[in-house]
Structure formats: C-alpha cells, structure tokens
A and B are shown apart, each in its own frame.
Chain A
Amino acid sequence: MIFGYPLLSVAIWLPILFGVLVLATGNDSNARLARVIALVGGILGFLVTIPLYTGFDRMTSAMQFVEMKDWITRFNIHYHLGVDGISVLFVLLNSFFTPLVVIAGWQVIEKRVAQYMAAFLIMSGLVNGVFASLDAMLFYVFWEAMLIPMFIIIGVWGGPNRVYAALKFFLYTLLGSLLMLVALLYLYMQSGSFEILDFHRMAMPSLTAQVLVFIAFFMAFSVKVPMVPVHTWLPDAHVEAPTGGSVILAAIMLKVGAYGFIRFSMPITPDASHYLAPVMIALSLIAVVYIGLVALTQADMKKLVAYSSISHMGFVTLGFFIFNAYGMEGALLQMISHGFVSGALFLCIGVLYDRVHSRQIVDYGGVANKMPVFAALFMLFAMANSGLPGTSGFVGEFMVILGAVKANFWYAFLAASTLIFGAAYTLWMYKRVIFGAVANDHVAHLRDIGAREKIVFVVLAITVLGMGLYPLPFADIMHASVNDLLVHLAIPKVTN
C-alpha cells in the first residue's frame, strides 16, 4: 500500500462500483448520463492503475502491492491480491482498454445503453481481479464471473446469430473451468491451502499426477487462448459480438488463458510441462501455420481478424513452451502487442460496420477515397498485425522466433512462416477493402472518422508505434519475474 490506499482492490472494485452506478441510471431516457458516468469510471479506473507501473520495484520477482485478508476460513481461502512483473502489465492493459471501448460504443449503442456500459465496467473490474489474484479460488471466482457480462454482451448486442455464439462461448469456457476446479481441489487437498504460491512450491513427486493436473489446467486455459482444436468458439463469438465485445475478447480475454499457463500450469507442474512441451509446441505451430492459412480464405473481416488472433496466440504458447528467456519475454510482449493491435483492428472494422452494416470484404473497395484519415490509421494497424519492424507486432514475434531458433531450427522455420502468411492475409484484406475504385454506393457515401473515433485510434496508434520503437518500458518490468519463473521451471519436482 505505497500510495496510502490498496491499489489493487481499488483497481478491481472501482470499475465495478461505477458499473453499478451506471446500471442505476435506469432506462434509455438517461442514456447520456449513463455514458458520461461510464466514461468517468473507465478513465478513473485507468488512472488508479498507473501507480502500479510507476511504483513497481523492477529489481524483485516477488509479489508487490500485496493485500491479504481472510475470506472463507472454512476452506482456508484468502482475499489475497498482488502482482508481479508479468501480471501488472495485464492489469494495465485491461484498464487501458476500458475507457476506449466506452468511447467506441458511445453513439453506436442505442438500446439499453446503461446495461451495455455497466457490463463492460464490471467485466473490467473482474478481469483485473483475475490478474491480481494470488489465491486460486479467488482467481477462479473472478475467472468464472467475467463470463457472465461477456455472455450478456454477445447475446444482447450481438449480430444475428448471437444466441448460438453466446451459448457456445459460455459452455466451452465453462467445461474447461470446471475441470480446472477439480485440479484446484486436488491441489488444495495436497497442500492445505489455495495459495497459488504454495502450489508453486509444493512437491509433486509423481509425474502421472502432474500430467493429470496439467491436462485439467490445459482444458481451461487452452479454450481461453484459444489453442487448436478448441478454438472454434472464437470466430463465432467474434463475428457475433458487438465491436466493444470483440475488442475486449481479443485484447483481454485471450490473454487470460495464456496468463493461466504461466501462473498455473508451468510453475505448478514443471515436469509435466517439459514432458508435454512437444505436444504444446505442435499445437502452437498448427495454430500459427494452419490457422494462418485459414485466415487467408476468410470473406468476413471480423472472422479474418479472429483467425489471425488464434494464429498470433499460437506464437504466445510457442514462446512459453520453448523454455528460454527470449521465448518467454517475446511471448509476453506479443500478448501485450496483440492486445493493442487486435483491439485496434476490431475497432477499425467496427467503424466500417457502423457505416455500411456489412463485414464482408466484397462489400467494400476504395474506402481510402472517402476516408483518408481512417485508411492511414488502419494501414498502421494492418502493418503491425503483419509484424512490420517499427510496430509493436514485430518485437514479440522476432523474440519468439529468436528463442525458437535456440530450441530447434524447424520450430523457428515454421513459426517464421507467419511473417509471410500474416502479411498476406492482413494486407490482402486491407487492399481489397481500402484501395481500388469506389466499389458501390455505400462506400461512396462514407464519412471519415469523427473526433470521438480519432481519439481512440490516435491513442492506439501512438501506443503501437511507441511499443515498436522503444519496447524497453514493457520489457524491463517483466525481467525479474520471467527469470525467476525460468529458474523455477528448471528445477524438477519429480524425485525419481
């Protein structure tokens, strides 16, 4: 509590409190008030997390800003919060995106505005809770609870097939989580507490037990990432979700799954992680290469970016399971960068969709003639998505490939193919949508982006470029924690 107040608790509960306030504004006659309160809540929510970055001690890998209170004494569960160099970045990323999605939904959402805004604010608080929890049951509660607002967001404000997508999203995730719950209970029986750090330290001499626990966690996290073959909910959810929902899904929710691997699977079951690493790497490479090819053939822009997300997340899991510092840090940077870039791309598609009400690539063409400012910004994000040096997309991918070369040349070779496929599907889509002659009447009547949209895109553009040109502020905060994690992973728990 460096700043005199419990930073992490505030980061979690302030957005939720504002969410409740927004709900209290009632029906759509107060929509304006709801929007303003939501924006204030979003911005305040981001501001209170800034001290987490400025006050962070980069020298240590220990948990910081720790808060600990009894919660459920019956099961020895504590309200235990804290962040290390890895999780702090995601708390910031999440809080950063909340005001942006509020602004992005400002005029677009006309029905049940208060509920829409409240859902995003509440979800923002819950996601912060996921990243800041040091008690596995607290983590689990936040993890499951954040499904509820997302389910509502997709189902209420989504596209024509929203009900199917919302249910698929919920049930897929729930199946994984429930198996994780069994694993957590097993670990609780073994260690006597739900402390994540105790789980890290506890002995697990049996490889079989480790593998089973790993698989249970894998079910939960691989659905969330998502990894092949449980990725099929993502294109549906993305396509049907409203723009803000897609942004949060891509930028934040997918990261929760990857975060789970480094917070739970790998440190708790290091030997199983090594043992199953070939499988994980194979699945990651399938995601990178095969899903990259799938993305190439998409006719729907949102679907294309959704598949591109799966492919990029393949890089992240690849980086984790090659067990070296380049891979690990590269993967983490890739997660942050992908958050910005995919969020921005979904916002770009949202801008087009709001005006033309189509996501099909064939319905566009020559948009640059009518929306030059938008086209320029979209270009930047498209380039970042294909990993152009100088943008944030390059840093992470490059480091993961570097790490992969150290592990095995062929991993690196296959992973590097993304530089070609990524560029191909992103830029081809960009070309078909933006360049050429004005394709039809809808495009001819397009207006360029207004001030509200410009703010969002310029903020994101600065971040993407800034991170690409000078990634050190992101990298140095995680050094100590990543090194510590790698050291921990190198010590086997299996005794015989």
Chain B
Amino acid sequence: MNLFASLFPAYAEIFLLVMVSVILIVDLFMVNYTKTLTYLLVQLTLLGCSLITVSTHQEGIAHLFNHMFVDDLMADVLKLLTYLSVSMMLVYSRTYLMARGLFTGEFLGLVLFATLGMMVMISASNFVTLYLGLELLALSQYALVALQRDSSVATESAMKYFILGAMASGFLLYGMSMMYGATGSLDVNRIAEVIQNGSANHTLLVFGLAFIVAGLAFKLGAVPFHMWVPDVYHGAPTAMTMFIGTAPKLAAFAFVMRILVEALQPLMIHWSGMLVILAVLSMAVGNITAIAQTNMKRMLAYSTISHMGFLLIGVLSGTVEGYGAAMLYAVVYVLMSLGAFGMIMLLSREGFEADNLNDFKGLNQRSPWLAFMMMLLMFSMAGVPPTIGFYAKLAVFSAAVHAGHIPLVVTAVVFSLIGAFYYLRIVKLMYFDAPESHEKIYVQPDSSLLISINGLAVLALGILPNTLLSVCAVSMQQSFLH
C-alpha cells in the first residue's frame, strides 16, 4: 500500500505501460483491418493518461525513485499536451494509413511506446532516466519510419535517421560521462550544486558541455546538426513525419530544460553562446533553404529547422521569461505542424501523395474552407498577427530583448521576414493560382472537424492568447524559479 501510494506521481507512465501491453495482446485477436477496437483503446488510453495526469497533479515538485524521476508543473503541462498531440496525430493519420495498409497494431504500439518515452524524458531528473526516455522514443521512431517496408525511400530515410540518431546519442552519452567524471553524479540537481561549488574541473565541464549541446542540437534538428531532418521528413510516410515533427519536440524541449537549465545552469555563459550560433545558423539555413523546396514535406522540414532556431533564442536568454517563451514556442509549433501535416494527409488519396507544392494550387476553388484553414496555419507559421504564431515570436523576442540580445533579435526579425516568403507562397498557390486537378476532395468527418478546430484554434488563441501565455510562464516559474 505504501509503495503504491509513493508511486503516485508516476501513475500515468505506469498506466500507459500496462495499457500498451494489453493493447498489443488484444490486437493479436483483431483480424479486422480497420483496427477499430485497437484504435479506440489507444485513444481511451491517452484520455485515461490525461485524467490521471490531471488528478495526480500536486503543488510543488515531487521526486521519485531516488531522485530519478520528477513531477512538476512543467512536466504535467507538457505531458497533457503530448497526449493531445499524439491523439490528434492518430485522428489525422488513420484514413491515410489505412489506405496504405500501415494502420497496424505495430504502428499503434510503437506510437504508445514512443509516447511513454516522451513522458519519461519530460519527467526525468537524472541523466540515466533522460537517456532511457530518449532511446525509448528514438527506437520507436526509427521503427515507425521503417514501417513502410516496400518503400525504398522510407527505408533509406529510416536508415539515415537511425545512423545519425545513434551518433547523436553517442555524443550525448560522451558528454554525460564527462559531466559524471567532473561532478561525480548523474543527478541533475546534484550536478548543478557541485558545479556551483566550483569544485568540479572546469575544462572537463565545458568539454562535456560541447558534446551535450551537439547531441541536443542533433535531436532538435538545429544547424549544423540538421542534415537528417529534410531526408527523414521527406522520406517517411506523412503520418510518421507528422509524428516525428510534433509531440517529440515537446519532449525535446523538456529534455533541453532538464539538462541545460536544471543541471547546467551554472554554465549558462558557455551554453548560451553556443546556442546563439546554433540559433542564427538554424534560422538562416532553415529559412533560406526552404525557399528552394518544391516538396511540401521538405519545405516544412526546413521550416522546422528555422523554428527550432527561434525556440533556442528563448532558451539562450537564460531567464525564466525566456524559458516560458521557448515553451510557448514549442507548443505553438506543435499545434501548427499538426495542422500543416494534417492538411497534406487530408488532401492525399489512395495511391496519391499531396506533398508537392503544386498540389496546393487553387485549393480555394476546390475547397474554400480547407484553404482558409491552411491560410491561417501558414500565417501563423510566418508569425503574422492575429494568429498565435505571432505571440510565440513576440514572447521569444521580448525575452531576448530583455536579456540584452538586441542584435540577435534584429537578425531573427530579418530571417522571419525571409521565412514569411515561402509561407506566403503557399497562400499564393492556394488562392491566386488555378487548380491542377479538379478531383473532388473527400475528407473524413473526424479529420475534417479536427482540422477546423486546429485552424480556428490558431486564430482564437491569437485573439485571446492570455491563457496559453500564462500557463507557459507559470509552469516555468514553478519549475525553475527556486
């Protein structure tokens, strides 16, 4: 009983693990290719996780398993958003995957395992747990990308993803081991204390930090560690691209927070300088290269790279305000990406991928409502008010100006202008050009409803952004201001 009660903060993870096992077994007895029951079980599991996370929420910070696991407000908020994002991704991709014979029990199982990995990453407070979560997520993702066995492109991108991902993990581990060598601990709070005392070898610390930052940059897809992003985004089936591009970014953000802020805050002057370089390069390469793309998924991949640059500006400000801004940016980015990839899947049919820019031509004439939703999403990505994308950029810029990074903000502003061009080009294709095909667009009612909610949310949150901004700010204050 006592043990049971002490596990309280980790109920959601435990519940999910039990449910994945149950679902995998149940699925064996499902011959029906639509997998309705399994699908519903997965959605119910995610709903159950949300209820558990909400009901187990408590004030303050709780540690568990010998300080391996932490439950704070940031963890709870990010977990809830992760469930939401995964659940939305499943709704968007169900029809798409069924048409391609990929909507299998393995897919659903892997998605849930990846979700578990993200939850562990979000709640880890020890380098070992962090790495455990990361690998659980990463291995599930490699398998997801490779799920389309008969597609050579997908297999190739899975291979690239795996090799580069493994290398990044190696970097990260190497860095972590140096931290361990310098401080004698793997616990994030303990590491911070030791560095603060000044008893650790400084050279070793900074050396280790460089490896850790490189590993993080790989996972985030920040330049110059971004090579895998376009290939994987392009090659993977769109549903998998959507999965890789959304919820894991929330987990990656938490990962960065736990390592750089919670453990290595005393080294801020060092990592903040490294992140400036990563941020500027990401914004530059991402935004400029995106202009040259003709494939929507590739364009969104470069757009992701640039968004990670903006997110890093929030982190490198090194203030609680900046972390809150970065968290907002991550959340908003996930919301917009879900919509954008969702739109590609809505427009795709059996045997046809709507992933070329030209497939968006004249969308306004074929379906004004979908075009309007896509326009909202694109303007949000470009950061044009009154969409939420603007406030994400505003928050990040504001934090950076506050931290005295005015030249960096001016650079970011110039790159977001360049970025606006290729988002506008999508709007141009949809509204100004004539359609290439007049094929009727059939949309399932559930995904049609979801894309409407998604698009309108971008607008509604832009008109009334107060709640979301406060949630992000408060969770950062409660988690890191002590």
Contacts and interface: CB of A to CB of B under 8 A. Distances in A.
Interface stretch (A69-77, A284-292, A305-313): A69-77
A494 to B, nearest CB: 21
A182 B424 contact: no
B385 A141 contact: yes
Nearest to A152: B431
Given A181-B397, A182-B413, A167 B384 contact: no
B428 A140 contact: no
B420 interface: yes
Given A145-B385, A181-B413, A182-B401, A72 B469 contact: yes
Which of A70, A152, A185 has the most CB atoms of chain B within a 10 A radius of its CB?
Answer: A185
Nearest to A143: B385
Contact of A74 (B406, B414, B473): B473
Nearest to B382: A174
A72 B431 CA distance: 33
Contacts of B469: 72, 74-75
Contacts of A167: 421, 424-425, 428
Nearest to A162: B432
B390 interface: yes
Contacts of B401: 182, 185-186, 189
B379 A182 contact: no
A144 interface: yes
A147 interface: yes
A363 B379 CA distance: 41
Contacts of A182: 397, 401, 406, 409-410, 413
A73 B397 contact: no
Nearest to A72: B466
Best-buried of A72, A73, A112, A155 by chain B (most CB within 10 Å): A72
B395 to A, nearest CB: 8
Contacts of A171: 417, 420-421, 424
B384 A163 contact: no
Nearest to B421: A171
Contacts of A174: 384, 417, 420
Q: Is the interface of A mostly helix, strand, loop or mixed?
A: helix
Given A115-B368, A185-B401, A145 B386 contact: yes
Interface string A137-172: 100110011011001100110000011001100110
Contacts of A163: 428, 432
B420 A186 contact: no
Nearest to B365: A112
B424 A170 contact: yes
A163 B421 CA distance: 12
Given A74-B466, A115-B368, A178 B431 contact: no
B470 interface: yes
A175 interface: yes
A167 B291 CA distance: 14
Interface string A54-81: 0000000000000000111111000000
Interface residues of B, number: 34
Nearest to B431: A156
Nearest to B409: A182
B53 interface: no
B417 A178 contact: yes
Nearest to B376: A148
Contacts of B386: 141, 144-145
Contacts of A141: 385-386, 390
B466 A145 contact: no
A17 interface: no
Given A155-B432, A166-B432, A179-B413, A144 B398 contact: no
B432 A156 contact: yes
B167 to A, nearest CB: 37
A145 B385 CA distance: 6
A374 interface: no
Contacts of B410: 179, 182
Contacts of B420: 170-171, 174
Contacts of A72: 391, 465-466, 469
Nearest to B462: A141
A188 interface: yes
A73 B471 CA distance: 12
A137 B385 CA distance: 10
B202 interface: no
A179 B409 CA distance: 10
Contacts of B398: 75, 185, 188-189
A151 B390 contact: no
Contacts of B364: 112, 115, 156
Contacts of A189: 398, 401-402
Interface string B342-378: 0000000000000000000000100010000000000
Nearest to A73: B466
Nearest to A129: B386
Interface string B394-430: 1101100110001001100110110011001101100
Contacts of A145: 384-386
Contact of A144 (B390, B402, B413): B390
A155 B469 CA distance: 34
A147 B395 CA distance: 22
A151 B378 CA distance: 14
B82 to A, nearest CB: 23
A2 B342 CA distance: 48
A189 B395 CA distance: 13
A144 B420 CA distance: 13
Contacts of A115: 364, 368
B381 to A, nearest CB: 14
A78 to B, nearest CB: 11
Contacts of B470: 73-74
B424 to A, nearest CB: 6
Interface string B118-144: 000000000000000000000000000
Nearest to B387: A145
A322 B243 CA distance: 60
Contacts of A186: 401, 406
Contacts of A178: 413-414, 416-417
B393 to A, nearest CB: 9
A294 to B, nearest CB: 28
B184 to A, nearest CB: 40
A148 B421 contact: no
A163 B433 CA distance: 9
A235 to B, nearest CB: 20
Nearest to A176: B417
Given A145-B384, A148-B379, A185-B397, A155 B431 contact: yes
A172 B394 CA distance: 20
Contacts of A188: 398
Nearest to A115: B368
Contacts of A75: 394-395, 398, 469
A280 B364 CA distance: 43
A185 B428 CA distance: 31
Nearest to A157: B432
A72 B379 CA distance: 21
A151 B413 CA distance: 21
A261 to B, nearest CB: 21
Interface in A189-212: 189
A188 B406 CA distance: 13
Contacts of B413: 178-179, 181-182
B385 to A, nearest CB: 4
A409 B402 CA distance: 46
B385 A140 contact: yes
B428 A166 contact: yes
29 contacts: A72-B466, A73-B466, A74-B466, A115-B368, A137-B394, A141-B386, A144-B385, A144-B386, A145-B384, A148-B384, A162-B432, A163-B432, A167-B424, A170-B420, A171-B420, A171-B424, A174-B384, A175-B414, A178-B414, A179-B413, A181-B394, A182-B401, A182-B406, A182-B410, A185-B397, A185-B401, A185-B409, A186-B401, A188-B398
Given A75-B469, A186-B401, 7 more contacts: A72-B391, A74-B466, A156-B431, A162-B432, A171-B424, A179-B413, A182-B397
